[in-house]
């Protein structure tokens, strides 16, 4: 049996320990996550900034089995690829460059990718150094630039020629197609665009200076999506 004095001492010890525990400062709260403020480049890649679709120019009807689907390609990472890998999706094929006045179009290409990718669409980029030497870097240089500067997530192929005697087989077929004004022939500059329907039967060609967020381009993309 605990003696009275010992019991008093025990109670005093418990009360003192309890008082000390109450005096301990509360655990710090988790800090609030930092507020992310988009810079102008990232903001342009936000799909909410895309305008509504306008009216698409008439596409060119092609044979859905045209040879370009199975032409051998290499990705920027050196992996084997072909356009047939993307069959069933609407495509935007575009020759790109890292040091061009039109290079900021990467932002709106990425905005299209984010908005329409889940609906069955993808941009496919073809780096090209034929216009003013504006894509001089290695595959690693190009990939790093696209990733760090514009946050590009769409597939990028190896560097190719789109004009001249070394014109890539895919561009031999694409350059034979007319745009809305009847132009056929050589690619005119960086960022010329070809929107291909998901069933592979219709292709719409756009001038390099027609931006990816032009309402006519957006209309062509929406018309090309899988039905």
Residue 100 annotated in active site: yes
Query: Domain residues of the chain, as ranges?
Result: 45-224
What integer is the mean pLDDT of 69-85? Answer: 96
> With 60 as the cut, is the pLDDT of residue 24 above it?
no
Catalytic pick from 20, 100, 128, 146? 100
Q: How far apart are CA 123 and CA 113, in angstroms?
A: 6
- What pTM was computed for the model? 0.82
Share the mean pLDDT of the chain: 88
| The pLDDT value given to residue 45 | 75
* Residue 121 confidence class, pLDDT cut points 50, 70, 90: very high
What integer is the mean pLDDT of 10-36? Answer: 49
CA 62 to chain centre: 27
Q: By percentage, how much of the chain surpasses pLDDT 90?
A: 78
* Collapsed DSSP state (helix, strand, coil) of residue 181: coil
Residues 26-74: tens digit of each pLDDT? 555 544 444 444 445 556 678 998 999 999 999 999 998 999 999 999 9
Q: How far apart are CA 58 and CA 213, in angstroms?
A: 18
If one looks up domain 45-224 in CATH, what number appears?
Answer: 3.40.30.10
Cα end-to-end span (Å), the chain: 87
Q: In the structure encoding, which two tokens stand for residue 108, read together?
A: 């709106």
């Amino acid at each position: 049996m605990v003696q009275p004095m010992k019991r008093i001492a025990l109670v005093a010890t418990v009360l003192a320990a309890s008082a000390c525990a109450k005096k301990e400062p509360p655990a710090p709260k988790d800090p609030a996550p930092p507020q992310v403020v988009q810079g102008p480049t990232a903001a342009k890649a936000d799909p909410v900034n895309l305008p509504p679709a306008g009216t698409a120019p008439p596409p060119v009807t092609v044979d859905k089995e045209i040879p370009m689907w199975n032409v051998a390609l290499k990705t920027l990472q050196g992996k084997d690829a072909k356009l047939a890998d993307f069959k069933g999706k609407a495509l935007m094929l575009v020759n790109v460059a890292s040091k061009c006045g039109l290079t900021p179009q990467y932002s709106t290409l990425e905005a299209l990718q984010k908005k329409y990718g889940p609906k069955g669409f993808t941009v496919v980029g073809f780096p090209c150094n034929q216009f003013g030497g504006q894509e001089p870097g290695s595959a690693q240089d190009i990939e790093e630039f696209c990733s760090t500067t514009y946050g590009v997530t769409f597939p990028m192929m190896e560097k190719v020629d789109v004009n001249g005697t070394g014109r890539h087989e895919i561009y031999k077929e694409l350059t034979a197609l007319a745009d809305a004004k009847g132009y056929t022939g050589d690619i005119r500059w960086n960022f010329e665009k070809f929107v291909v329907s998901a069933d592979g039967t219709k292709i719409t060609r756009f001038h390099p200076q027609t931006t990816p967020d032009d309402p006519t381009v957006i209309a062509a993309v929406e018309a090309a999506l899988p039905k």
